[in-house]
Every structure is written in C-alpha cells, then in structure tokens.
A and B are shown apart, each in its own frame.
Chain A
C-alpha cells in the first residue's frame, strides 16, 4: 500500500533517446546478451549479496519484534483457565527454546537456517518449510494472476488513453484508474462475495484444487480473489502506462520516426512502447509488495490456504518459527522480484549498463 506514485518523481534514469533506426527483435537481444555478460555477472553477484544481507537484517528485526509482543506460544497454549501447571509451562518453554536468552535463540535459528532448516511450528510441530511449501503456490499464483490480469487490461488501456489524450476516452480511462486505485481490495472482495451470494449461486469446488492437477477448477477458485487483488493494481499500471507513454510520445525521436513516415502503429509498438515500459515494469515490481500485503487480507476473506493466512494465524498464536519463516520468505520473494525487475530493464533497453 505504498509508493503508488512515487515513481513519477524519481524515474529510473532511463529514458535515453534510443536509436530510431534500431531494428529491435532478435538482433537486439543477442547483442545485449553478448555485451553485458561479464558486467552483468558482477552486478548480479553484488545485488544478490546485498539482498541476502538485507534479508538477514530483516530476519533479525522480525526475530526481535515478534518476541516483543506480549504473550508467547505457551501463553496461547495455556488458555484462559489456568489449568496448566507452572512445571508444564517451564517444560514447554524449554522445549520451544524460549528459555534461552534472545541472542542465543537467534544464533540457533540462523544456524539451522544455514543448514536450510526453518525449524518446527510451535503450534502444530510440523516443519515450517513443509507448511510454507504447501501454501506458497497459492499465494504466488494469486499474486501472479493478479499481475497478469492487471497488465493485460491496464497496459492497452493506458496506451489508448495516452494516444487519445484529452478525449472523452482518456477522461473515462483516467477516472476509472483513479477510482480503481481508491477501492480497497478487502472491500472489493466483500462486494464480490455479497454479489455472488445475492445474485449468483455459483461457487467453485471446495477443496483447494492444484493448478497442475485441476487447472480449470483452480482458475475458478482464483477468479474472485484475483479480481479483488488485481483491480487496484490495474489502476496503478494504467496510470503509469499512460504517463510514460505521454512522456515518450513527446520525445524528439518519436517525432523523427513519425516524420520519417514510419506508420503510427509501428511508431507506437517499436519506439514508444518499449521505452514507456520501463517505468511500468518498475511500478509493477514495486507493487508486488502491495500485492503481497493485499494478499494477506484477501486470503483471509476468501479463506484461502496461502502464506498470508499462515502469517496472520502465526502472529496471533505467537508461533515464532512460523512468523520468522513466512516473513523471511515474503522479504526474499520481494527482493527477488526487485532484482528481476532491475534485470528486465536491460532486456527492454539494452543501453542500460549494470555499472
């Protein structure tokens, strides 16, 4: 729920006047691969290292924060009636490693982490990794579909809006964008449920269907959550596409291309769009955070077995290993996507060097 427009003022130093005569396509891609390989490797390495450092710092932060919440897993376990004796409580705290000082707990956790072990959930005593492994595909699919949906609708709409600037089409598209941006996904979700409850009696199958095993059922189950999550994102992407397109369309090289008699269609697709896409991709990368955050609520509303559901119940139950695992995962996921976005600049615009 952050930085919806920040990018407007801090654009990537990107919109270089590109080579109008460039043929694009395959040749461009090959040249990019050839020319950037070694630099790319160092850049990648540096980025990965700093990302891992960030993730570690983050894990330390979360490790501390979650332990500051009043009450621990044992408190939750005791319940209200004081029927658990102090001895039992001590045994449990020892079993969970909560009896150690926090730095010691942290070292244990990081040590296990380095061995690829996220530990066991306090609540269920199942492996954190296996619980996350079950729910990650749900959240990943939800976020990915929401992104695909929003890009598929918003980018053409944004281009249309930019090309037909200051026409009624543009105004309607802009208004829709702003309205969409202002609708909280949890409200959209509630409205969707309300409508389906009142008007349609349609309902997807109960057990969560895997995308691989039963794609049709899976997509039906995903439909409402994806719309709820994707609509606000759609608005952001549309707005960004529009302003980036306008920016590009006013550049000299586009005028040159037009003057040279390149068809409008070709001007748009080959010269304008490619350059306009950079800020759009940036925004979508940044929006992933918003998506993951929104997914937490949307999963709760639709009762989906995703990472967000895991996280919220783990916070409530003070299931520290579970909280640490899910937060670390969300952070890493977010970092990975940022990295991917950075790399995709180079693909979209080969002149960008990873210096």
Chain B
C-alpha cells in the first residue's frame, strides 16, 4: 500500500459501487448505515429543536433536581430547567459548533494543503512548518490555551476548534496532491495545454475527495469531543446556548441526587461522536476501494 496505489481517481474507480442500491449498501455496511442514521436523526433534532423541545431550555419550570415524571420525562436540573429540552438544544449547539468549525477548517486546511501540495517549494515549506508547529502541542492543550485567550463564547469556541482541526485537514489534502502532481497523466494533461484549474478539477480533486470526506466526519467527531471537553472545564460555550459538555460539567456535582444529570449529557456526546465515527467508518469502506471488505 504505497502512496501511488491510491492515485487512481477513486470515486470513479469502482462503477459497481455506484450501481448498488441503497438497501444493498446498507446490508453490506450496517455500521456505516447505522452511523448515518444517527447523524441524520441528530441533525434533524438540532434543526427542529425549537419545535421538538417541550420547554424553553433556560426557563426555570419547577423544583430543582426533580426526578423524572410525566411532564418532565428526564427530570429537572439544578436550576429547575427541563433536562430533555436542554439535551435537545444541546444537540443544536454541539453539532452546530462542530460542523461549522470543521467547515472552517476545511476551507482553511483544504486551501492551505492545496496550495502547499500543488505549488510546493517555499509555500509548501512555510505552510507545512506552521502546521507542524501546531502539531507540537496536544490539540486539546492548544484548544484550552486558545479558548482561554479568546474568552468563553460560542464564536470563540468555534474558532479554537477550527484552528485545532486545521493542520490534519491540511496534511491530508497535501499528501495525495503532492503525488498526483508528479504522475504521468498530469504531466501529459499539462503538455496538452490544460491549465492549473482544469488539472485541479479533473485530476486532483477526485483523488483527495474520498480521504477528505472521511476525515471530515472524523474531524467532526473530534470537534464534538474538544468542544464538550472545553465546555466541561468551563472554558467553552456559555448560556443561553446549552452545551452537553457544560451540562455534564455542572451536572456531575449532583451525582446521587440526580444521576441523570451526569449520565445523560455524556450519553448524548457519545451518541453523536459514535454516529460520526460509524459514518466515517462506513464511508471509508464505500469510498476507498483499497480497503473494501477489509
């Protein structure tokens, strides 16, 4: 499995994959399908949070730490807020921030990787040194430092997570491009008068699409972990937005009095991360024929 093997434009390499119906695909790849279902469900919950949640997530609707009952199926938290509503709105915040920040890092990292890989030389050296520099610190430590500097708020957490996930995307983009650039078919296309733009679209993009799609789902999973981790430490998102990390961080103080407050937000985080990881796993199987059936 050396790098050159992966250079065939993978998306189009396996026509069989495109011919198979969704049901067959699902049967062949139950894990990925399950992940996709979880992701789609959570996305719907996030989008329709205002309609789905029975109460305003910040309204104090009853006695603090009330156990679950008919009107509040998951009970009330330490300020008498409806736990279910908070979890639903939490989906919006945690998914939203992660997706947006990974989107930003796709733009930044993808762009940087593209430039570095395609033009090489000084640009490459400079960009990749900068990326390496960010790799010298554990991502979460860097995120703590950034979030600390920027101050806890929704936008700042998005920024911090985006910065932290950028180097991976840049690396992943650059690698294949570097290799594609040297291949004969790119050389001949160039000889035939194809411009940078055409070469990018026709030869380079198809080769990096698959790894980037997979990395994106995985990065979103990581982003959720970083965001909730920051919020858990109190360095992340702040109300009125509700982060699962925040809920877990404060809820754990009420262990034994209301165990749901420490179990449920964590379970929600796990479900979301799991969904993206499963989906990423499935996508890899589908998109990367080298690993097909592996």
Find out whether the CB atom of A296 lies under 8 angstroms from the CB atom of B144.
yes
CB neighbours (8 Å) of A224 from chain B are: none
CB neighbours (8 Å) of B101 from chain A are: none
In the assembled complex, the CB of B29 is this many whole angstroms from the nearest CB of chain A, namely 12
In the assembled complex, the CB of A9 is this many whole angstroms from the nearest CB of chain B, namely 4
Closest A residue, CB atoms, query B293: A166
Instruction: A334 to B135: give the CA distance in the assembly, Å.
Output: 9
In the assembled complex, the CB of A244 is this many whole angstroms from the nearest CB of chain B, namely 10
Q: Is B112 an interface residue (CB 8 A)?
A: no
Find out whether the CB atom of A289 lies under 8 angstroms from the CB atom of B139.
yes
Choose one: B140, B256, B263, B281; the contact of A294 (CB below 8 Å): B140
Find out whether the CB atom of A247 lies under 8 angstroms from the CB atom of B280.
no
Choose one: B141, B252, B281; the contact of A296 (CB below 8 Å): B141
In the assembled complex, the CB of A199 is this many whole angstroms from the nearest CB of chain B, namely 11
CB neighbours (8 Å) of A4 from chain B are: 218, 221-222
In the assembled complex, the CB of B30 is this many whole angstroms from the nearest CB of chain A, namely 9
With A178-B281, A197-B256, A297-B229 given, is the CB distance from A3 to B168 under 8 Å? yes
Find out whether the CB atom of B149 lies under 8 angstroms from the CB atom of A11.
no
Find out whether the CB atom of A65 lies under 8 angstroms from the CB atom of B262.
no
Digitize A217-229: 1 where CB-to-B-CB distance is under 8 Å, 0 elsewhere. 0000000000000
CB neighbours (8 Å) of B3 from chain A are: 13
Find out whether the CB atom of B138 lies under 8 angstroms from the CB atom of A289.
yes
Find out whether the CB atom of B141 lies under 8 angstroms from the CB atom of A179.
no
Closest B residue, CB atoms, query A2: B139
Choose one: A65, A187, A197; the contact of B145 (CB below 8 Å): A65
In the assembled complex, the CB of B180 is this many whole angstroms from the nearest CB of chain A, namely 14
Find out whether the CB atom of B266 lies under 8 angstroms from the CB atom of A184.
yes
In the assembled complex, the CB of A195 is this many whole angstroms from the nearest CB of chain B, namely 10
Find out whether the CB atom of A311 lies under 8 angstroms from the CB atom of B222.
no
Choose one: B141, B168, B266, B284; the contact of A330 (CB below 8 Å): B141
Closest A residue, CB atoms, query B217: A5
16 A–B pairs (Cβ distance < 8 Å), ordered by A: A1-B164, A1-B222, A1-B225, A54-B133, A55-B136, A175-B31, A178-B277, A186-B232, A190-B255, A247-B294, A289-B138, A292-B138, A312-B233, A315-B144, A323-B145, A331-B137
Interface size class of A (residues with CB under 8 A): 35 or more
Find out whether the CB atom of B266 lies under 8 angstroms from the CB atom of A187.
yes
Which residues in window 47-67 of A have CB below 8 A to B? 54-55, 57-58, 61-62, 65-66
Find out whether the CB atom of A194 lies under 8 angstroms from the CB atom of B255.
yes
CB neighbours (8 Å) of B255 from chain A are: 190, 193-194, 197
Instruction: A5 to B215: give the CA distance in the assembly, Å.
Output: 8
Instruction: A290 to B140: give the CA distance in the assembly, Å.
Output: 7
Which of B141, B172, B288: most chain A CB closer than 10 A? B141
Q: Is B151 an interface residue (CB 8 A)?
A: yes
Q: Is A6 an interface residue (CB 8 A)?
A: yes
Digitize A284-320: 1 where CB-to-B-CB distance is under 8 Å, 0 elsewhere. 0000111111101100100000000001100100000
Q: Is A21 an interface residue (CB 8 A)?
A: no
Find out whether the CB atom of B136 lies under 8 angstroms from the CB atom of A178.
no
Q: Is A174 an interface residue (CB 8 A)?
A: yes
Choose one: B149, B232, B263; the contact of A69 (CB below 8 Å): B149
Q: Is B44 an interface residue (CB 8 A)?
A: no
In the assembled complex, the CB of B133 is this many whole angstroms from the nearest CB of chain A, namely 5
Residues on B facing A (Cβ under 8 Å): 1-3, 6, 31, 132-133, 135-141, 143-146, 148-149, 151, 164-165, 167-168, 171-172, 175-176, 211, 214-215, 218, 221-222, 225-226, 228-229, 232-233, 248, 252, 255-256, 259, 262-263, 266, 269-271, 273-274, 277-278, 280-281, 284, 288, 291, 294
Which of A68, A70, A194: most chain B CB closer than 10 A? A194
Instruction: A317 to B288: give the CA distance in the assembly, Å.
Output: 48
Choose one: A1, A54, A187, A246; the contact of B140 (CB below 8 Å): A1
Other A-B contacts than A184-B266, A243-B291, A293-B138, 15 sampled, CB-CB below 8 A, are A8-B214, A9-B6, A182-B277, A183-B270, A184-B269, A184-B270, A186-B248, A191-B262, A246-B294, A290-B138, A291-B138, A292-B141, A296-B141, A297-B232, A327-B137
Instruction: A4 to B145: give the CA distance in the assembly, Å.
Output: 21
In the assembled complex, the CB of A331 is this many whole angstroms from the nearest CB of chain B, namely 5
Which of A174, A186, A312: most chain B CB closer than 10 A? A186
CB neighbours (8 Å) of B248 from chain A are: 186-187, 190
Choose one: A10, A182, A197, A335; the contact of B273 (CB below 8 Å): A182
Kindly list the 7 A-B residue pairs having the minimum CB-CB distance in the complex, ordered from nearest.
Answer: A293-B140, A187-B266, A182-B274, A289-B138, A182-B273, A293-B138, A2-B139
CB neighbours (8 Å) of A289 from chain B are: 135, 137-139
Find out whether the CB atom of B269 lies under 8 angstroms from the CB atom of A187.
yes
CB neighbours (8 Å) of A6 from chain B are: 168, 171-172, 215, 218
Q: Is A15 an interface residue (CB 8 A)?
A: yes
CB neighbours (8 Å) of A10 from chain B are: 171-172, 175
CB neighbours (8 Å) of A263 from chain B are: none
CB neighbours (8 Å) of B167 from chain A are: 2
